[in-house]
Structure 1
Amino acid sequence: MLLSQRKAAVFRRYPFTLILKEEVLNPDVEPLRIKIDPGAKTTGLALVNDKTGEVVWVAELQHRGFQIRDALTSRRQLRRSRRNRKTRYRKPRGLNRTRPTGWLPPSLNSRVANILTWVKRLSLLCQINAISQELVRFDTQKMENPEISGITYQQGTLVGYEIREFLLSKWNRTCAYCGAKDTKLEVEHIQSRSKGGSNRVSNLCLACVPCNREKGNQDIKDFLKGKPDLMKQILGQAKRPLADAAAVNVTRWNLYFNLKKLGLPVEVGTGGRTKYNRTIRGLEKTHYWDAACVGESTPEQLITTRIKPLLITAKGHGTRQQCRTNKFGFPVRYCSRSKFHKGFQTGDIVKAVVTSGKKVGTHWGRVATRATGHFNISTTDGLVQGISHKYCKHIHKKDGYAYVA
């Protein structure tokens, strides 16, 4: 309506933001809370009005940590191969290098940097007064020793949510005894309570209803008497910690300390509370709805009508390679030193309206520039090659991300 009445203009395409053409004196701007659900591959983001319960904006941020890891591995292998071709002795270098406090591997640090980038970007576009972050996915201390937390945790509103979510991840949502999937799974005591078993997470697994009933209170050695390999596997898996969760928790603490530096109050919550909040509000399982349900501050009623998520993919800012190499690390072609060609650079989002030739039509996507002036455009339908720069028009300048609205 504001655009049609020419009272506003498009300030930014991603996220879609308007700027008013006339100043509003004494505006009544309601503050928003940014909520974050960090994940290993995808992070959910949401802007929520605590006062009205309205979900203003949601997004899913795809990280590129695995690409960074593979690129660093490839570089290390190529350098090692080159060193092996020359067998002269060279003194070790860099043995006295120390890592600074809070150091993270580049693949994990990029995920933290992506989230911080978007928190700062959203803070410039709207009034943010608080941050909510899912700090740890599982409260492992309470699960490992339930007795320390007392009856409040055992019989509170979150009873079972933390432990069940942990077990679903640990046992890959399958029955430990028969491997059944896509069926109702129950929490099973490996050593039954009637025979001295505890509620520690190392004594719990998941079992389908038939297996749980068949086992009853039998000892696992008697129940799996004819399957020694399966019994050994279950006992080993029960005592093994969830390594992925531990790695994610490391980055979440790093993210937490960096968010605190922004000067805004940071609320934290667990994955069990997030799932509880989402379930009682009847929302489907997605990263952005998980983000909207992080923490105790989640309003009783969330207004989620007409909300469409923005899908964000981290792409990086290119490379500093002076030439392109083959799979053996040998240079094969020249790499242009100029980033801009015909006013465009790789990573810009453009709209190309082609009026003649074999590629007639409208193409919208991320562009890869060439010195010849004929570009490639990555659209949602695939790659379109050889589009002249004369047909291209800027939609969004390169910022290291690709978008699907």
Structure 2
Amino acid sequence: MQQTQQNRVLVLDRNRQPLMPCHPARARELLREGKAAVFRRFPFTIILQHRESGSVQDARLKLDPGSKTTGIALVASFSRRGPTVVWAGALTHRGVAIRKALEQRRGHRRFRRNRLRYRPARFDNRTRKAGWLAPSLQHRVDTTMAWVKRLMRWAPVSVLSQELVRFDMQQIQNPEISGTEYQQGTLAGYEVREYLLEKWGRKCAYCGVENTPLEIDHIHPRSKGGSNRVSNLTLACHHCNQRKGNKPLEQFLAKAPEKVKRILAQAKAPLRDAAAVNSTRWALFQRLKATNLPVEVSSGGRTKWNRFQQSYPKDHWIDAACVGESGATVRLSPDHKPMAITAMGHGERQRARLNRHGFPVGHKAGAKSFLGFQTGDLVRAVVPKGKYAGTHAGRIAIRFRPSFALRTEKETFDIHPKYLTIVQKGDGYAYA
């Protein structure tokens, strides 16, 4: 049975300057011999006690931004092995939670303003600065940049790579795709396929089947004058594609006129959320350029093409490693275990607890810490006796009394803070 590969350990010299990441076995040896100390638990980073500076290879930090999860890969350029993934992570955003909280707050304010005390209409003279993004979208840019800056401090990053656009619109709009090219040929074909997969929800437009190989089908058959433009293309399973043949859509679905109406409307509609996703990616690109490092950009179609050519499975961190021209030949192990990073936030500024109508029913404590602890801190607990006697590790949620909630991998229980030792201060993220 093949052993799961782990991320390499990030290494700093005694002056906190990044060196090349090392193998976990080498890190354990340095710690055991007293030549290094633990600098940070997540991501695991050690600091050398005596060494200053050293030779490093070029390392490229690669990003695959997504609406829910962003893939991160650190690729080192070794002289013998070539570009190799040495560290990977999957950053899960909390944009949905932010949007839900803002909608709830907006509903409470609207109820109080309209139902309880009437206020006459007034002009909204507030303006938004150029490049403004909704908080749920801005969060994705900010959390991604936070991890870019962290890894730039802890690893010798010299180049950045980003999947800038999901699809190359120029290649998509090329009307000269012919033969089998639009099915499975060139990079232009991959741009088209990726666009259609996203637009039609990765399922057959005719029968709705999912998790099956899909083929590109012309809504208006080419033999009857149909074009190759994406507005005339859809996805179909092999069975539906064969049954439809060169029949017009209205004839093929003569018994389902509502389905015909839906397919025609969806074919003409632009890709949902494309503007929001593209604006997020462009905002991130501008932030990456501000780091003064070279930034390589590419499309999602190129990423998928690179991954397919190298026979790698689909995953966020693998997509990140395959971004751009530099991702055409990258070494990685599909059983590599990336670090799972989940954005949890840094608490909330709301100081009142509200009922379902939006009225305060209680007030929260003003302080965010108590007895030197804060919610989200990673701690080690040594309980001498009782039901939970033993050593535990997990995250705490503070209360303003000497009884905290400790959440471990197996259970959650109350514990006195005198049994706790902080391993790593809460930084707004959960790790696995």
CA distance in 2, matches of 1:305, 1:285: 9
* Correspondence 1:5-404 to 2 at 5 A: 5-24=33-52, 27-51=54-78, 52-89=82-119, 92=122, 95-147=124-176, 157-298=186-327, 300-304=329-333, 307-382=336-411, 384-404=412-432
Tell me, yes or no, if the aligned pair for 1:50 and 1:297 is still in contact at 8 Å. Answer: no
Classify 1:214/1:84 alpha carbon distance in 2 versus 1 (closer, same or farther; 3 Å): closer
Tell me, yes or no, if the aligned pair for 1:146 and 1:154 is still in contact at 8 Å. Answer: no
CA distance in 1, matches of 2:400, 2:207: 60
CA distance in 2, matches of 1:224, 1:348: 59
Tell me, yes or no, if the aligned pair for 1:311 and 1:403 is still in contact at 8 Å. Answer: yes
Tell me, yes or no, if the aligned pair for 1:50 and 1:299 is still in contact at 8 Å. Answer: no
Tell me, yes or no, if the aligned pair for 2:380 and 2:422 is still in contact at 8 Å. Answer: yes
Deviation of 1:181 after TM superposition, in Å, equals 2.3
Deviation of 1:334 after TM superposition, in Å, equals 3.3
Deviation of 1:187 after TM superposition, in Å, equals 0.7
CA distance in 2, matches of 1:221, 1:79: 49
- 2:32 partner SS: coil
116-125 or 348-357, which deviates more: 348-357
Look up the equivalent residue of 1:402 and give its one-letter code.
A
CA distance in 2, matches of 1:11, 1:378: 24
CA distance in 2, matches of 1:270, 1:8: 41
Tell me, yes or no, if the aligned pair for 2:58 and 2:158 is still in contact at 8 Å. Answer: yes
CA distance in 2, matches of 1:219, 1:321: 58
Deviation of 1:55 after TM superposition, in Å, equals 0.7
CA distance in 2, matches of 1:284, 1:236: 33
Deviation of 1:90 after TM superposition, in Å, equals 5.1
Tell me, yes or no, if the aligned pair for 1:46 and 1:57 is still in contact at 8 Å. Answer: yes
Give the length in aligned residue pairs: 399
Classify 1:236/1:88 alpha carbon distance in 2 versus 1 (closer, same or farther; 3 Å): closer
- 2:83 partner SS: coil
Alpha-carbon displacement from aligned partner over 1:149-185 (angstroms, at most 9, x marks no partner): xxx9999741421111221222222221222223222
393-402 or 361-370, which deviates more: 361-370
Classify 1:22/1:171 alpha carbon distance in 2 versus 1 (closer, same or farther; 3 Å): same
369-378 or 39-48, which deviates more: 369-378
CA distance in 1, matches of 2:115, 2:232: 53
Classify 1:50/1:211 alpha carbon distance in 2 versus 1 (closer, same or farther; 3 Å): same
* Matching of residue 2 in structure 1 with residue 30 in structure 2: yes
List structure 1 segments (4+ residues) > 6 angstroms apart after TM superposition: 152-156
Deviation of 1:104 after TM superposition, in Å, equals 0.2
Tell me, yes or no, if the aligned pair for 1:43 and 1:60 is still in contact at 8 Å. Answer: yes
Look up the equivalent residue of 2:392 and give its one-letter code.
H
Alpha-carbon displacement from aligned partner over 1:3-45 (angstroms, at most 9, x marks no partner): 1111111111111111100023x51112311000000010001
245-254 or 330-339, which deviates more: 330-339
Which structure 2 residue ranges, 5 or more long, are not aligned?
1-28
107-116 or 362-371, which deviates more: 362-371
Alpha-carbon displacement from aligned partner over 1:24-75 (angstroms, at most 9, x marks no partner): 3x51112311000000010001100134322111001010111111111111
Look up the equivalent residue of 1:67 and give its one-letter code.
A
Alpha-carbon displacement from aligned partner over 1:64-87 (angstroms, at most 9, x marks no partner): 111111111111111222223543
226-235 or 309-318, which deviates more: 226-235
Which structure 1 residue ranges, 5 or more long, are not aligned?
none
Q: Normalised by the size of structure 1, how large is the TM-score?
A: 0.92
43-52 or 266-275, which deviates more: 43-52
Deviation of 1:99 after TM superposition, in Å, equals 0.5
Classify 1:117/1:36 alpha carbon distance in 2 versus 1 (closer, same or farther; 3 Å): same
- 2:90 partner SS: strand
Deviation of 1:88 after TM superposition, in Å, equals 4.8
Classify 1:86/1:225 alpha carbon distance in 2 versus 1 (closer, same or farther; 3 Å): closer
Alpha-carbon displacement from aligned partner over 1:85-136 (angstroms, at most 9, x marks no partner): 543545637x221100100000100010000111011111111111100011
Look up the equivalent residue of 1:212 and give its one-letter code.
N
Tell me, yes or no, if the aligned pair for 2:312 and 2:334 is still in contact at 8 Å. Answer: no
CA distance in 2, matches of 1:309, 1:366: 21
